[in-house]
Amino acid sequence: MLLLYPIALVLFFVQFTSVTEAALGGPARSWLYFPIGKKMWRLLGGFVLAALAIIGVIAAFVIAGYLLLLLLGVILKVSVPGAAKAVIGLAAAVLILAAYGGLIFLVVRSFSVWRLSTLRNNAGCGPRLAAVAR
């Protein structure tokens, strides 16, 4: 049953590649068209790489935030024992909000850059796309 997930992912990207080629003004294809070639594997690899990069950034931020809050807790327990929990809670809330905003920025920025590079690389597909790519 677990083997069906990679097969379904590949079949999804086959459909996605076909629809993307049609949307970019490529030549008309037959009713059933399965582009299992270089374009599909590049698209799949790009999405997997982007997902791994996002997961890596999240993991790095969680580890850095944990270490920062741990250090802040040690410093505050020594200097001001009563206010340590309130300051750590406030710092954690600020870190969570910064992480959320940073993650949204990262995802939007990485996919918009990917989209622009795709448009520029496929500028020869048609006059409508060439006008958009400029």
Note whether 72 and 45 are within 8 A (CB).
Answer: no
133 falls in which pLDDT band (50, 70, 90)? very low
Q: Is 28 a residue whose pLDDT tops 70? A: no
**pLDDT, tens digit, for every residue of 46-100?**
888 888 988 998 899 889 888 988 888 888 777 777 777 788 888 888 988 998 8
Over the stretch 109-128, which tens digit does the pLDDT of each residue have?
776 666 656 555 654 554 55
Q: State the Cα–Cα distance between residues 125 and 20, nearest whole angstrom.
A: 12
Rounded distance between C-alpha atoms, residue 28 and residue 25, angstroms: 9
Query: CB neighbours of 86 closer than 8 A, spacing ≥ 6?
Result: none
